[in-house]
Amino acid sequence: MKNDSIKSEVFIPEAPRINNLRFRLFRDENDLPEMVRITDALRDAGQFLHVVSLEDLTSWFQHPGNCDPRQDALFAELNDQPVGYTRVFWEQEETRPARIYTIILRILPEHQGKGLEQALLGWAERRLAAIAAGHPQEMERVYSVFLTEECSALKKALETRGYQPARYFVRMRRELENLPEASLPEGIELRPALPKDYRAIWDASVEGFRDEWSSTQVTEEDYQRWLTESSFQPAIWQIAWDKQNNTPVGMVLNYINALENEYYERFRGYTEGICVVPAWRGRGVARALICRSLAMMKALNMREAALTVDSENPSGAQRLYLGLGYQPYHTALDMRKPMPANPA
């Protein structure tokens, strides 16, 4: 273990002068509970809303996509105890020649604002720049960090490094009383999602989200990870099928996060993954599926439903949700900056 520790240690030039502080690469699945612990602490401090389970981090570790966990994740340790981490990955945009180089950064609240943000961001940018050096140079390339408004120390560090808000995302919720109703258009039927349907539903969701802002190409690794995530709950999905072609054309990929409900002492279901393929848009498919999802959540003894929407969604999704009784309660943002053509 001592040799592994030495080999995984990383020199960080921006590291603050803190006694017994060191940085090391992610090692194996034994690091995952530490990532959960750090995220839990951020949630307790109001800087992170969701409960991230060990199950979901294990899914990431087993199906990492455009990421090598042992090279693309770094821990900050104080007295051999992890106090923060960052991990990075990249994605290809779907509709234009651009690549997004994403940084996820988490630091325990009591260690924020002491220089760890700059140290971890510096390493993450250099790691992504090294990865990008092997990619087509003519593409537009940007660094991206998603955070909540409450992450003031991280936001300040990002602004210092030249990041600016690129997009805002609104979290919305509604109580499950006085529920709306809407009929499905002719030619549509609903039926349960069976294992033989998963790939077709996945492909339809890819088509349905293709024209969203900054939509990215998906990989087989993404699909396999999707199948193992805790939010993968096909028994409560609402899927619209084209009767004539026997293909899925719209969906709400509902889920219930039991750990989150237990933590917050509430009964919430998520009406997420809402999309309709272009050929069926404008006919009320999404509205009807959401109405059925709300009624189903109430039948499952949930008391509220929630979702997240791009504040500038071109299809007017936020207007649809407001019309169905959802109200904003929180805002998150995607901060970005261009990656230099020849980063140092």
Residue-range definition of the domain harbouring residue 155: 2-162
User: Is residue 341 in a domain?
Assistant: no
pLDDT tier at 5, thresholds 50, 70, 90: low
Kindly report, residue by residue over 156-178, the tens digit of the pLDDT.
999 999 999 999 999 999 999 99
User: Is residue 65 in a domain?
Assistant: yes
pLDDT tier at 8, thresholds 50, 70, 90: confident
Residue 144 sits in the same domain as residue 196: no
Whole-angstrom Cα distance, residue 28 to residue 52? 18
User: Is residue 342 in a domain?
Assistant: no
Q: Write down the pLDDT at residue 309.
A: 95
Q: Write down the pLDDT at residue 311.
A: 86
User: Is residue 343 in a domain?
Assistant: no
Tokens of 291: 């109405």
Residue 42 sits in the same domain as residue 184: no
**Ordered DSSP codes for 10-60:** E--TT----TTEEEEE--SGGGHHHHHHHHHHHHHTTS--SPPPHHHHHHH
Here the CATH number for the domain that contains residue 295 is: 3.40.630.30
Whole-angstrom Cα distance, residue 92 to residue 101? 9
User: Is residue 336 in a domain?
Assistant: no
Residue 139 sits in the same domain as residue 249: no
Instruction: Read off the pTM.
Output: 0.92
Q: Is the pLDDT of residue 343 over 90?
A: no
Average pLDDT over residues 318-334: 96
Q: Which residue has the tokens 């039991």?
A: 258
Q: Write down the pLDDT at residue 2.
A: 46
Please, what is the average pLDDT of the chain?
Answer: 94
Q: Is the pLDDT of residue 96 over 90?
A: no
Residue 156 sits in the same domain as residue 191: no
Q: Write down the pLDDT at residue 342.
A: 67
SS3 332: strand
List all residues 6 or more positions away from 49 whose beta carbon is below 8 Å from its beta carbon: 43, 148, 171, 330
Domain boundary among 125, 142, 162: 162
Residue 62 sits in the same domain as residue 193: no
Residue 179 sits in the same domain as residue 326: yes
User: Is residue 264 in a domain?
Assistant: yes
User: Is residue 322 in a domain?
Assistant: yes
Q: Write down the pLDDT at residue 151.
A: 96
Whole-angstrom Cα distance, residue 189 to residue 211? 25
Q: Is the pLDDT of residue 344 over 60?
A: no
Q: Write down the pLDDT at residue 1.
A: 44
Residue 190 sits in the same domain as residue 319: yes
**Ordered DSSP codes for 74-134:** EEEEETTEEEEEEEEEEEEBSSSSEEEEEEEEEE-GGGTTSSHHHHHHHHHHHHHHHHHTT
Residue 183 sits in the same domain as residue 255: yes
Q: Write down the pLDDT at residue 15.
A: 96
Please name the amino acid found at residue 205: S
Q: Beta strands 164-175 and 9-10: pairing type?
A: unpaired
Helices then strands (H, E): number in the chain? 11, 14
Domain boundary among 131, 162, 193: 162
Q: Is the pLDDT of residue 91 over 90?
A: yes
Kindly report, residue by residue over 280-316, the tens digit of the pLDDT.
999 999 999 999 999 999 999 999 999 999 988 766 7
Whole-angstrom Cα distance, residue 71 to residue 87? 9
Residue 179 sits in the same domain as residue 277: yes
Residue 66 sits in the same domain as residue 9: yes
Domain boundary among 162, 188, 205: 162
User: Is residue 301 in a domain?
Assistant: yes
Residue 100 CA to chain centroid, in angstroms?
14
Planar angle of CA 70, 46, 74, nearest 5 degrees? 15
Residue 211 sits in the same domain as residue 176: yes
Counting the structural domains of the chain, the total is 2
Q: Which residue has the tokens 């077709």?
A: 200
- Cα-Cα-Cα-Cα torsion 155, 158, 160, 164, nearest 10 degrees, comes to -90
Tokens of 41: 């602490």
SS3 279: helix
Secondary structure element (H or E) that encloses residue 30, with its range: none
Residue 211 sits in the same domain as residue 152: no
Kindly report, residue by residue over 67-76, the tens digit of the pLDDT.
999 999 999 9
